Each structure stands twice: as C-alpha cells, then as structure tokens.
Amino acid sequence: MKKNIIQIALFILIIILAYLVYESIMEPVRYNKERNRRREIVINKLKDIRTAQLNYKNVNKEYADSWDKLIDFLKNGKLPVIKKISTLPDSLSEISEEEAIKRGFIKVDTTYVNALDSLFGHRKDFSLENFSIIPFSDGQQFSLRAGEIEKGHVKVKVFEVVAPNEAYLKGLDKDMINKEEKPALILGSMTEASHDGNWE
C-alpha cells in the first residue's frame, strides 16, 4: 500500500516537472511570437505616421510638433498634384524641361486633393481617430516631437515618434520586456537628420 502511494506521488511529481520544463521552453516561444506580431502592427503604424509627417513638411516646410496639427492636416490639408502636358516636338527633344516650359511646349497644371483621401483613402483599416494611439497600449499616445537642429552649419528640420516597449507589449511578461535589446520603437531622431526607424 505504502509502495503504491509512493509510486503515485512520484508519477504526479514527474508530470508536474515535465509540465514545468515544457512551460519554461514554451513561454519565451509564445512571448516572441506575440511580440513579433505586435511589433509588425506598430511598425506599420509608424510608417503611416512617417508618410503623414513627410507630406506635412512638403506643404508646411516643417514637421508637425503635435498630434493636433498632424491630424488636422490629414483632415483638412490639401496636397498638390502636378500634371504636365507636353506638346514638345521630337525635333526639340534635346532641350531641358525648364526651357520647354518657358517656351510653352510643356504646360504645368496643379490641382489640390484632400490629404487624408490622397494618402490613406484606399485603406479600409486606416483609422484617423486612433492615429496617435499605440496599438495594444490601452490608449497611450505615441510620443511626438519636432524641431530644428544644425548639421554642418545648415539648419535641418527633424521629428521623432516613440513607442515604448512597455506600451505596445502591455500584458506580456515584464522580465522579458525588460530584456529587450531596444527599449522602444523609434521613428526619426531629434539629433540626426533622419526619418528612418530604429528597426530598419
């Protein structure tokens, strides 16, 4: 009887140990899978923000330094669409475009389209209401800054958008989040003339 109880206890212990070993292997696997899924979604959103900022700068000669400005630009701003109509004869194909415009062989027509429709109108998944919100963060906004720096005696416009790991990885294992190589996904820079992401 006593032997049977010991055997049952050992069997249960083996099952528990096997489960713990399995979990120790699978926990980081599950974490990595979920982290990679979330990262991809956040990176795609940062790419949308970059598209909006670059177009904002083309129109306003500077980057938006607040979400209100950037979202208002998408809602109400206009982007120029330049159409060139050429009647340049083959015999004059060697002249420059500038000369052809001066001589009336190329007519330039500029129309304006709504920024939101032009940039993201084709996207069914695009939401302007959540444009500034970090996915999976329970409503936390991306940090957004913009300004001007001097590089080689030249003033350069810059911007930076940050999504901290603890925001978009909310709810996942905190120890694993703290072990991440980079503390955040960052687009642009306030110290360099760059609009690249730190994931690129």
pLDDT digits (tens, 9 = 90+) for 87-117: 767 666 667 777 777 777 777 778 889 999 9
Amino acid present at 4: N
**Closest to 67 (Cα-Cα) out of 159, 154, 172:** 159
pLDDT band (50, 70, 90) for residue 24: low
Looking at residue 50, its pLDDT comes to 98
Phi, psi (degrees; rounded to nearest 5) at 63? -85, 150
Report whether 66 contacts 144 (CB < 8 A).
yes
